[in-house]
Structure 1
Amino acid sequence: MTDTDVDIRSLPFPEALRWLRENGEPADPRTDVDTASLKSRFPRLAGVETRDLTVETPHGRQPARVYRDPAAEASGHALVWVHGGAFIGGYLDMPESNWVALELAARGIPVLAVDYTKCLGDVHFPVPSDDVLAAWRYARAHADELLGMDADALLLGGASAGGTLTGGAIARLRDAGEPVPAGLVSVYPAAHPDGGCPGEIPDPTSPTTQIALNYAGSAEALADPHVFAGLGTGEGFPPTIVVVCEKDALRPSGEAFAATLADAGVDVTLHVEPGADHAHINEPSDPTVLPTIEAIADWVRAR
């Protein structure tokens, strides 16, 4: 089987993990999701400028990319953005990273999109979380140069596994006494070890629990709010938007996370995208995507 024949999402998780470990990230079969094609399809993106760079982390160098549109009306905030991929896949050129960043930059929200070490074998928490924290600290240290913003105007956000990583990163920053972001953008996160049944003992046969255990590295870590922020109290979190999808099996986790934040007195917005399913922002042709992008952009502008 070639990398263009396999659909990782259709495989049982242990098989997907084994395939990625042996073969690496498969090529995206879509021919219209590269940057040039996206700018041709969506002319509003034409003015977005990008710059690739690397970020030093405790575990090596990770790729990152800056997105800015000099002609866009400034929102007053910039975003450090982390893609998903079940902690075992994903990369900066996937639409959930690249296209989302292009769209937000075109709306006056400069973006630093970042990558992280995948949990393929012996790698587990805190490695990818450390990478996200390193990227966040790098963004703060170079906010003006990279994004044209003061460090205190930076937001942190991510989708799916990226939503999990960014929520956990904020919990770690808070507990370390470091400045937390000006806001959190959490898109269909797995904020609990069994995202379909938050608050219950994780079912070891559940695919979401299998993914969670591979990320966490141990059964004990499944109870750690630095690993899954939905397990914490929510105290000390910044203003947050949580986006969930109507048809997503992980919707209960996002909703429970939003409720936890609200109970802690956090300014939280829960946006439910009608008709959408998990990973919808990784498909530019999905009609539910732009309403999500606009909801995020409106929330950022309202900060």
Structure 2
Amino acid sequence: MHYEEALKFLKTNTTTQQDESTEVIFKMAADTTPGNLDPFLLKDREKELEGTNAAIEGMPQEFTMPDFSNLEIATGAALQMRASMGSPNNDLSQGVTTENYTVQGEYGDIPVRVYHHKSQNELAPALIFYHGGGFVGGTPDVVENFCKGITEKLPAVVINVDYHLAPEFPAPAAPKDCFSVLNWVVENSAKLRVDANKIGVSGDSAGGTLAAAVSYMDREAKTNYVGFQALLYPSLTLIDGDNDKYQWDITKFGAQEATLPLVAPGIIGMNSSGLLLRTAYVRDENPASPIYSPLSAPDKSIYPPTLLVSAEFDALRPFAAVFAKQLIASGVKTKAIVYQGMCHAFIDKYGIFPQAEDAADEVVQMMKEIFE
């Protein structure tokens, strides 16, 4: 099936199911079968695996997890992770302009890219976007086309933030950078052609955590600038107790026998990353703080209306369902979506995986509902 046909199919092929006793909207593209990878992802994954069989066969059968409590070991691993990140994607926009700015932050300059629709003449809603990368990697480049898509579709002013990364800049650098950009957008709303009463925050993976952190910091500061958050497969806790309580056994994801080897390494690896991130990123900060572990926020009603997007074969999926349940119970307008046949970080393939563009459409739709 062609890309446009698959995207159109996603819009209508939805079911409501239960994840962690939470009503979640499941979206499945055409030609995807339960428990298997989406054909677009499968094709991409098979291409990535070409030529790796010999390397896998030569690996030792026993593997000892490094001591990630050691800062030097955790730092080295974090930098290795950074080097492996990034993915090419496609620019589907036609009417978007880009301006570069520098925001002054506590830890130095914070570069931001600001996207406008070329025909924008009036103040428009804004979405501040924080890229993923485990707090140690990732760049604005990877999410640029996703951001430009939202700019054109709404239209909106989208701000793509190049915050400081660990291990060179451990916590609280990243959340403070991200909050500084929120304040900068409000202070410069006229110049940026932003309606300061219609500001949302968003991010993928670690960026989703940072978006939730900014929402929390905004409420704690009683500025109340953030009216919406879109959290795309966010990391919601760095606490071992939460991981023990909420993470799923690999079999619960429902992967078919042929699919399991393709999805298990990513799920298992993410489930075991907590200590590495606490050492390389959180350092001396309290990992239970809501700016690092949003599940720890004692009062979930402080959060703005929320869109939670997950992937079927993503270790973070059950945590998103739990967070959605808590938000709903606290009276927060919440929409939770799971894309079937998908794995973590699928928006990195914007314009290649139709689910990535559909997720952008979901962000646009909820922003319209909240702000118009």
Does the alignment reach a TM-score above 0.5? Answer: yes
**Counterparts of 1:98 and 1:158, CA distance in 2:** 12
Contact 1:196 1:252 in 2 (8 A): no
Q: Shift in Å at residue 210 of structure 1?
A: 2.5
Report Cα offsets for 1:133-180 as digits up to 9, x if no partner: 11111011112321x222121111111101111112221221222224
Mapped pair 1:173 → 2:238: no
**Structure (1/2) with the larger strand percentage:** 2
Q: 1:139 to 1:249 in 2, by over 3 A?
A: same
Map of 1:72-221 to 2, 5 A cutoff? 77-94=125-142, 97-107=143-153, 108-121=155-168, 123-146=169-192, 148-193=193-238, 198=243, 200=245, 206-214=271-279, 215-218=281-284, 221=286
For 2:360, give the aligned amino acid. I
For 2:228, give the aligned amino acid. G
For 1:296, give the aligned amino acid. V
For 1:102, give the aligned amino acid. K
Q: Shift in Å at residue 74 of structure 1?
A: 8.7
The equivalent of 1:302 in structure 2 is 369
Contact 2:105 2:180 in 1 (8 A): yes
The equivalent of 1:231 in structure 2 is 296
Give the secondary structure class of the aligned counterpart of 1:103. Answer: helix
Mapped pair 1:222 → 2:287: yes
Q: Shift in Å at residue 103 of structure 1?
A: 0.6
* Counterpart among 98, 116, 122 of residue 50 in structure 1: 98
For 1:283, give the aligned amino acid. K
Give the secondary structure class of the aligned counterpart of 1:100. Answer: helix
**Counterparts of 2:240 and 2:233, CA distance in 1:** 10
Q: 1:63 to 1:267 in 2, by over 3 A?
A: same
Q: Shift in Å at residue 188 of structure 1?
A: 0.5
Q: Shift in Å at residue 195 of structure 1?
A: 9.1
For 2:309, give the aligned amino acid. V
Give the secondary structure class of the aligned counterpart of 2:237. Answer: coil
The equivalent of 2:111 in structure 1 is 63
Q: Shift in Å at residue 190 of structure 1?
A: 0.6
Q: Shift in Å at residue 27 of structure 1?
A: 8.7
For 1:84, give the aligned amino acid. G
**Counterparts of 2:334 and 2:159, CA distance in 1:** 23
**Bigger Cα displacement from structure 2, 66-75 vs 54-63:** 66-75
**Counterparts of 1:51 and 1:209, CA distance in 2:** 36
Higher RCO, Cα 8 Å, sep 6+: 2
Q: 1:272 to 1:210 in 2, by over 3 A?
A: same
Equivalent pairs: percent with the same residue?
24
The equivalent of 1:240 in structure 2 is 306
The equivalent of 2:337 in structure 1 is 271
**Counterparts of 1:124 and 1:20, CA distance in 2:** 12
Contact 1:78 1:149 in 2 (8 A): yes
Contact 2:126 2:195 in 1 (8 A): no
Give the secondary structure class of the aligned counterpart of 2:302. Answer: coil
Root-mean-square deviation over aligned CA pairs: 3.1
Q: Shift in Å at residue 224 of structure 1?
A: 1.5
The equivalent of 2:354 in structure 1 is 287
Q: 1:234 to 1:132 in 2, by over 3 A?
A: same
Contact 1:68 1:109 in 2 (8 A): yes
**Counterparts of 1:246 and 1:46, CA distance in 2:** 31
Give the secondary structure class of the aligned counterpart of 1:124. Answer: coil
Contact 1:80 1:113 in 2 (8 A): yes
The equivalent of 2:22 in structure 1 is none
Q: 1:85 to 1:141 in 2, by over 3 A?
A: same
Q: Shift in Å at residue 288 of structure 1?
A: 2.1
Q: 1:99 to 1:138 in 2, by over 3 A?
A: same
**Counterparts of 2:290 and 2:86, CA distance in 1:** 37
| Count of residues in Structure 1 that have an aligned counterpart in Structure 2 | 277
Q: Shift in Å at residue 72 of structure 1?
A: 7.1
Superposition TM-score, scaled by structure 2 size: 0.67
Contact 2:124 2:195 in 1 (8 A): no
Superposition TM-score, scaled by structure 1 size: 0.81
Point out the structure with max Rg over C-alpha: 2
